[in-house]
Structure 1
Amino acid sequence: MNKIIFFFLFGICFNSFSQDYRIADLKIQGNKRLKASFVKKIASINAGDVLDSLVIEEDMKLLKRLPSISHAYYQVFPSGDNQYNVFYNIEENFTLIPSANIYTTDNDEFAYRLGLYEFNLLGRNIAIGGFYQKDIYDSYAFNFRAPFLFSRHWGLAVNYQDLTTQEPVFFDDTISNYKYNNESIEILGLFRLNFNNKFEFGINYFVEDYSYKFGATSPIVPRELNVHKWLVKSIYEYNNLDYFYQYVSGFRSIANLQYVTSMNAMLPDFFIGWNDFLYYKRVGERGNWANRVRLGLSTNDETPFAPFSVDNNLNIRGVGNTIDRGTGAIVLNTEYRYSLYEKNWFVLQVNAFIDAGTWRNPGGDFDDFTDMDNVKVYPGLGLRFIHKKIYNAIFRIDYGYGLTQDSSKGFVFGIGQYF
């Protein structure tokens, strides 16, 4: 280690990384299932390149973001004639992972989602898997995602789902409940421009089916509705996050724009877009402050089928299952995570959070965001049981308690951090 520190101090002092020293070879160590050829494929350096510590550091951040890697570091050793061997040292994750999300509220709601995913298929960081969901009705989905399928810049994702839920429909200050089914197939192209910036773009064909179950009725709101739709999607992500096992620091922004066209006049064409801003900061040795802000707007049609929902598993912990809908959303999630106990592979983490949000009513205006009927504030506490050597092996339990009017309270269980 002392040799490495001396080498880099020497390089910085004499600015020689970008002038004299070159890479003799890139070697991969510590990998078992992950293919060394894959690591070299996505790495930014090759034999013969100028030795640049900043480029290597970016590779380390990229590798630590991969589901198949829990930690990565590098070493540099001289090989003669101003050339150096670079070693990328890999600590792998276990990547065949079950997933689970469960929630309850004081309204006796209970729903769950169980899945199984492999995140390192063929040793090339390909994710494949699916889930089964029970939320009154049965649902299932299949997902395939290979961000480096074609090259270090180009990949592909394919998603199929058949989701059925009981959804509230809001109109004339009343509520009706429908059995809602959404069957879709989606194909996305994945493009990584550089270390920080990547894009997704593609199409989604889906069929929505609404069937009236109980509640209020209206002559202008159909009891049965079956609609075929096309969706064009584009996503831009800026990612400057740095990981050290369960700790995260940095900034990330994800912008999602969609245009949906319908073959039924009851559900008109519309635009929808939202941006998630995420900021993480290490606090001392064991603390982590995590924040997410979502800003979203859609075409402001006065429709009972508005696209933005208020939901336990999406934005407000403890609020319940799709208790409201809107054509705009402002959501803030902030929490402080503290590693109470950490030894070898296991971490017990506690957290305190505040989830807050407000929505624009369908056909309403921006004043709706300040209407107290639309504002939800839910503080709460949670636990995290973390396995440091298994990808996303974070079992979370959160309890949210509503402070605003007509609030509920309840537990939310899941795999992975909430955000």
Structure 2
Amino acid sequence: MKTLSIFFFLLTSLAYAQDATVADLKVQGNKKLKSSFVKKLSNIKAGAKLDSTIIEADIKLLKRLPSIANATYQVFPVLDNTYNVVYNIEENFTIIPSANVYTTNDDEFAYRLGLYEFNLFGRNMTFGGFYQKDIYSSYALKFKAPYLFSRQFGLAVNYQDLTTQEPVFFDNTTADYKYNNQSIEVLGLFQLDFKNSFELGLNYFTEDYEYKFGATSPDVPQDLRVHKLLYKLIYEYNNLDYDFQYVEGFRSILNFQYVSSRNEAQLPSFLIGWNDFQYFKRFGNKGNWASRLRLGLATNNDTPFAPFSVDNNLNIRGVGNSIDRGTAAIVLNTEYRHTLYEKDWFVLQGNAFVDAGSWRKPGGDFGNFGQSKNVRVYPGVGVRFIHKKIFNAIFRIDYGIGVSEGATQGLVFGIGQYF
């Protein structure tokens, strides 16, 4: 724990001896997390100049890792203007189940259950998967090692077999299809610096549409199977600072994709991109305001299989499961989180939110955003049950009530904050 005396000692030492250096970096408090891994990530090294700004940046980075609940540092003098730096680690428990359950007032029910290890081999690798029941069964496996090769280079590999019942919208009517997506994805991960990182890779997948019931049209196939290749680029700017359940700062995630199709007649190739802007602000000792703005745009193909979806578990709480589709989207989620009770490892947090969004219809224009039938506004309230020493151990319950045209209402359960 940093003390006032150490702080003034360090300031005095740096003022009179600008050549102060680090004798050694020590890591303590960790059990499963490898000390060698912490040193690999740290910019402070033995023999380097002693610089408090670099140390603070290291601590901020460490607190972002799934394996670390909190991190602090100490500085101790050794001899001849050299100092030992000690990083104190409070570890998270990192073998974590995941769960998402969502319903609406028309008795629609779906869930997803998973299990993930976020600190595989003590090196902050993620491995796990999920099983989903949304009328049909689905599953996925995921592996991610952001620092596999070095402090800057990593790798991610994902496999998914996802089957759902999806509404398809055309000619002011609706049909329901059994939709299956089988994919394998490989991504290279690159961290440019403390705030900027990139992911670049390929996703090969097969989409299968099978008509179940509803309207039909000679222009809309009832059975369709197509192989696709997706080129993906993700750029993230992350300047968030974590203090257990509280978050402060700004984050931006740009996801850009080009999807090439082998059946251009029915499912043409297209470009798609979206950016999530996230802003978090602390209020007093117990309050936290959180907001996410998503701006999305895709090639405006006039197809019933448009890429953006209006969905309970993705963007608007209480709206239902995949109730609409579009080729462009604007979605704002904003909420105020307040700690109602906190003792030792347990936190009870309440929140009040507003989720709102609008979509451009396939083949439509940007005027669609202002049409009342495309606008969804869902205020609501929720609670969070948080374990401070288990990564992402936040069980959330939200209830959203629509106030826009054709509104529904419903519960959304999940693990982790909604955003």
1:391 paired residue number = 391
What is the match of residue 157 of structure 2?
Answer: 158
Give the alignment partner of residue 6 of structure 2, picking from 4, 7, 20.
Answer: 4
User: Which residue is equivalent to 2:48?
Assistant: 49
Answer whether contact 2:21 2:50 (CA < 8 A) is retained. yes
Letter of the 1:303 partner, please give it: T
- Answer yes or no: is the 8 Å Cα contact 2:346–2:387 preserved in 1: yes
Q: Distance in 2 between matches of 1:92 and 1:15?
A: 36
Paired with 2:58 and 2:30, the residues of 1 have a C-alpha distance of 16
SS at match of 1:282: strand
What's 1:322 paired with? 322
In 2, the alpha carbon distance for the partners of 1:80 and 1:8 equals 14
Q: What's the % identity of the aligned pairs? A: 72
Q: Distance in 1 between matches of 2:7 and 2:193?
A: 28
What amino acid is the match of 2:9? F
SS in 1 for 2:373: coil
C-alpha distance in structure 1 between counterparts of 2:405 and 2:193, whole Å: 47
1:195 maps to which residue? 194
Q: What is the count of residue pairs matched by the alignment?
A: 416
The correspondence of residues 13-162 of structure 1 with structure 2, limited to 5 A, is 14=15, 19-162=18-161
Deviations 1:126-178 (A, max 9, x none): 00000000000000000000000000000000000000000000000000000
The answer for the alignment partner of 1:350 in structure 2 is 350
Q: Secondary structure at the match of 1:130?
A: strand
Query: TM-score, normalising length from structure 1?
Result: 0.98
CA distance in structure 2 between the aligned counterparts of 1:45 and 1:206, rounded to whole angstroms: 43
Instruction: Return the offset for 1:295.
Output: 0.2
The normalised TM-score by structure 2 is 0.98
Q: 1:142 to 1:15 in 2, by over 3 A?
A: farther
- 2:404 aligned with 1:404: yes
SS of the equivalent of 2:127 reads: strand
Once the two structures are TM-superposed, the CA of residue 5 in structure 1 deviates from its matched residue by 2.1
Question: Does 2:363 align with 1:371?
Answer: no
Equivalent residues in 2 for 1:238-253 (5 A)?
238-253=237-252
Q: Which amino acid aligns with 1:223?
A: Q
Question: Secondary structure of the equivalent of 2:78?
Answer: strand
Question: In structure 2, do the counterparts of structure 1 residues 166 and 15 end up closer, same or farther at CA, with 3 Å as the change threshold?
Answer: farther
Find the counterpart in structure 2 of residue 295 from structure 1: 295
Unaligned runs of 5+ in 1: none
Q: Distance in 2 between matches of 1:348 and 1:190?
A: 35
In 1, Cα distance between equivalents of 2:382 and 2:109: 19
Could you report, residue by residue, the CA deviation over 1:256-295 in whole angstroms, capped at 9, with x for unpaired residues? 0000000002100100000000000000000000000000
Shift of residue 15, structure 1, vs aligned partner: 7.9
CA distance in structure 2 between the aligned counterparts of 1:237 and 1:298, rounded to whole angstroms: 20
Deviations 1:98-141 (A, max 9, x none): 00000110010000000000000100000000000000000000
1:186-335 equivalence runs, <5 A: 186-264=185-263, 265-335=265-335
What's the secondary structure of 2:372's corresponding residue? coil
The letter for the 1-side match of 2:152 is H
Amino acid at match of 1:325: R
Report deviation, 1:45. Answer: 1.3
> Is the Cα–Cα contact under 8 Å of residues 154 and 188 in structure 2 kept in the other structure?
yes
Q: Does the 8 Å CA contact 2:10/2:75 hold for their aligned counterparts?
A: no
Question: What one-letter code is carried by the residue in structure 2 that aligns with 1:5?
Answer: F
- For structure 2, the residue ranges without an aligned partner over 5 or more in a row are none
* CA deviation after TM superposition for structure 1 residue 11, in Å: 5.4
Q: Write the distance in 2 (CA, Å) between the matches of 1:400 and 1:287.
A: 21
Mapped to 1, the partners of 2:10 and 2:254 lie a distance apart of 38
Report the AA paired with residue 314 of structure 1.
L
The residue matched to 2:54 in structure 1 has which SS?
helix
Deviation sequence 1:4-32 (CA, Å, 0-9, x none): 121244357x385xx31100000000000
Pick closer, same or farther for the CA change 1:374–1:11 going to 2, 3 Å.
farther
Distance 1:170 1:15 in 2: 72
Question: SS of the residue aligned with 2:33?
Answer: coil
In 2, Cα distance between the equivalents of 1:169 and 1:257? 24
| 1:165-184 equivalent positions in 2, closer than 5 A | 165-184=164-183
Residue 49 of structure 1: how far off its partner (Å): 0.4
Q: What is the rounded CA distance, in whole Å, between the counterparts of 1:2 and 1:258 in structure 2?
A: 50
Which digits, 9 at most, give the CA deviation of each residue in 1:280-336, with x for residues without a partner?
Answer: 000000000000000000000100000000000000000000000000000000000
The change in CA–CA distance for 1:168 and 1:86 in structure 2 (over 3 A counts) is: same
Asked whether the 8 Å contact 2:142–2:157 carries over to 1, the reply is yes
* Counterparts of 1:368 and 1:75, CA distance in 2: 57
> Is the 2:13–2:20 Cα contact (8 Å) retained in structure 1?
no
Letter in 2 for 1:266: Q
